[in-house]
Amino acid sequence: MHLEKVYEKLEQEFIKCRDLKDISIKESNENFISLSKLTHRHIKIRYEKLDMLNHFNGEMIVRQSVGQKLINIANHLQNNYAHLALIIVYGYRTDEIQKKYFFKYLRIIEDDYPWIENKDELHELVHMGVACPDVAGHPTGGAVDIAIYDLNTKEYLDMGAKILDYTNSKKSYTYSPEIDQQHHNNRMFLKTLMENEDFAPYLGEWWHFSYGDREWAKYYNKPFALYQQVPHEEVIVKEN
């Protein structure tokens, strides 16, 4: 099958913006915690983008259950894969930053596809790379961008495409045909670790997982999501 056709088939499996809009939310009112204050040897925190450094004293925050699930995975690594750790490069994002990224990418998509006039169709194309602001997971505190870190080599486990690297965005698709078997195995290892703690993957980015947001509810066919988006001025960070 031609490579372009393979990617089109993969994209059909992605959760769409329109799939998320009608999912109801029963907010759990769960607090946030700072991942930056965790002292677990098998959890590393490293912002790959600098846009959140002016918020929360530069600390990376997520919902409390998300943090506990990451600790559970880290404990599993400690007990079974002692040379490996989680490395989290993004957690909560303000809705303002989400909108900035979305509309910046929208302008690029509009230039690349000038023949598409339907706004919803354009938004779906953008959503494959930057989530629609009204349904995005990062502003809920339920989404993380995450990889595996080798404590011996001090390097990321090779996934065939760098985390948050959009220079060849389709190579970042979880099931991209342009990666070798070891890259695929590494991606499946991460995906299995996360799914075992009830995180939902976004198949357009091997590094993106969420719990409690609308994408999680859609992926697992839950009756409702647990987390709504929280404006940054309303975020309550609980002491770890």
| Helix (H/G/I), strand (E/B), else coil: 20 | helix
Instruction: Look at residue 240 and tell me whether its pLDDT is greater than 80.
Output: no
Distance CA 84, CA 45 (A): 14
Q: Which CATH class is domain 3-238?
A: alpha beta
Per-residue model confidence as pLDDT tens digits over 155-165: 999 999 999 98
Residue 239 has a pLDDT of: 82
Greatest CA separation for the chain: 54
pLDDT confidence of 229, banded at 50, 70, 90? very high
- Quick check: 126 and 163 in contact, CB under 8 A? no
User: Average pLDDT in the 129-135 region?
Assistant: 96
More confident residue, 101 or 239: 101
Distance CA 27, CA 37 (A): 25
Residue 25 has a pLDDT of: 99
Those residues whose C-beta lies under 8 Å from the C-beta of residue 21, and which sit 6 or more positions away, are 134, 135
Instruction: Look at residue 207 and tell me whether its pLDDT is greater than 90.
Output: yes
Domain ranges of the chain: 3-238
User: Average pLDDT in the 94-122 region?
Assistant: 94
Per-residue model confidence as pLDDT tens digits over 212-222: 999 999 999 99
Which contacts (CB < 8 Å, 24+ apart) does range 171-174 have?
A: 172/204, 172/205, 172/206, 172/207, 173/7, 173/10, 173/11, 173/203, 173/204, 173/205, 173/206, 174/201, 174/203, 174/204, 174/205, 174/206
Per-residue model confidence as pLDDT tens digits over 15-58: 999 999 999 999 999 999 999 999 999 999 999 999 999 999 99
pLDDT confidence of 169, banded at 50, 70, 90? confident
Outline where DSSP puts E strands in the chain: 32-34, 43-45, 61-63, 84-90, 143-150, 155-156, 200-201, 208-210, 237-238
Distance CA 183, CA 97 (A): 31
**Cα atoms found within 13 Å of the Cα of residue 114, Cβ hemisphere only:** 1
Percent residues over pLDDT 90 in the chain: 94
Q: How far is CA 1 from CA 41, 57, 168, 210, in A?
A: 44, 50, 20, 32
Instruction: Look at residue 70 and tell me whether its pLDDT is greater than 80.
Output: yes
Instruction: Look at residue 1 and tell me whether its pLDDT is greater than 70.
Output: no
CB atoms within 10 A of CB 138: 25
Phi then psi for 110, rounded to 5 degrees?
-60, -35
User: Average pLDDT in the 204-232 region?
Assistant: 98
